[in-house]
Amino acid sequence: MMKRTAICLSLVLCCVLTGCGNTSGVDSLIAAQEETLVQITDPAPTQAPVPEVALVDAANGEYDVDLTILESTMVYAQCYDMVYNPDNYAGKKIRARGPFAYYQDEATGKEYFAVLISDATACCSQGIEFVLAGDAVYPDDYPETGTEITISGTFNSYEENGSPYVQLLDTVIESQ
């Protein structure tokens, strides 16, 4: 047993002594990798600044944001940005397409109308509430729930019961 312990101790001592040799090759490799990492993570000083809001201009220039011309992933991302950064879109002319949705709050009787925007996999959707221009009456002046519609209106945000919401005002249903 004593012989076995002496052999193990000798092996450990050899490993410790050989590990303390010249490490300049390893040191230079680490320094080169750190320099590469700094170059990758630090933004180049010549890059243009990213705009605060990337508004999508329609070909005819009639809309500030035309969600109807975006791919499904981008339209959902743009809607998400509109909901979480509403001040960037205040007063902008918005165009959207999606299924029509209707909800009436049983407690207050207030009616809400929206177009639903889905993501690429259609597992998530974001509703954009709208208020039709004029004195529209539900259901006479609205399409059936679930009907695909294209709308345009002026972006607005408001607070109700302590929660922020977004909507399109003076909305026109362009097509059903």
> Up-side HSE of residue 167: CA atoms within 13 Å toward CB?
17
Q: Is the pLDDT of residue 149 over 60?
A: yes
Enter the tokens of residue 78.
């743009």
More confident residue, 26 or 151: 151
Angle at the Cα of 150 (from 148 to 156), degrees rounded to 5? 120
More confident residue, 53 or 77: 77
Q: Is the pLDDT of residue 161 over 50?
A: yes
pLDDT of residue 118: 80
| Span 51-74, pLDDT tens digits | 344 454 444 568 999 999 988 888
What is the four-CA torsion angle of 66, 69, 73, 79, rounded to 10 degrees?
Answer: 10
What is the overall mean pLDDT for the chain? 78
Percentage with pLDDT > 90 across the chain: 51
Q: Answer whether 0.85 is exceeded by the pTM.
A: no
Residue given tokens 């109700």 in the structure block? 160
| Span 82-131, pLDDT tens digits | 989 999 999 999 999 999 999 999 999 999 999 998 877 777 788 899 99
Domains and CATH numbers, the chain: 65-175 (2.40.50.140)
Q: Is the pLDDT of residue 153 over 60?
A: yes
Question: For 116-148, what is the HEC assignment?
Answer: EEECCCCCCEEEEEEEECCCCCCCCCCCCCCCE
3-state secondary structure of 52: coil
pLDDT of residue 8: 46
Q: Which of 30-34, 67-71, 169-173 has the highest mean pLDDT?
A: 169-173
Q: Is the pLDDT of residue 147 over 50?
A: yes
Q: Which amino acid is at 37?
A: L
* CA–CA separation, 68 and 94 (whole Å): 10
pLDDT band (50, 70, 90) for residue 3:
low
- Find out whether 120 and 72 touch, Cβ atoms under 8 Å: yes
Q: Is the pLDDT of residue 175 over 90?
A: no
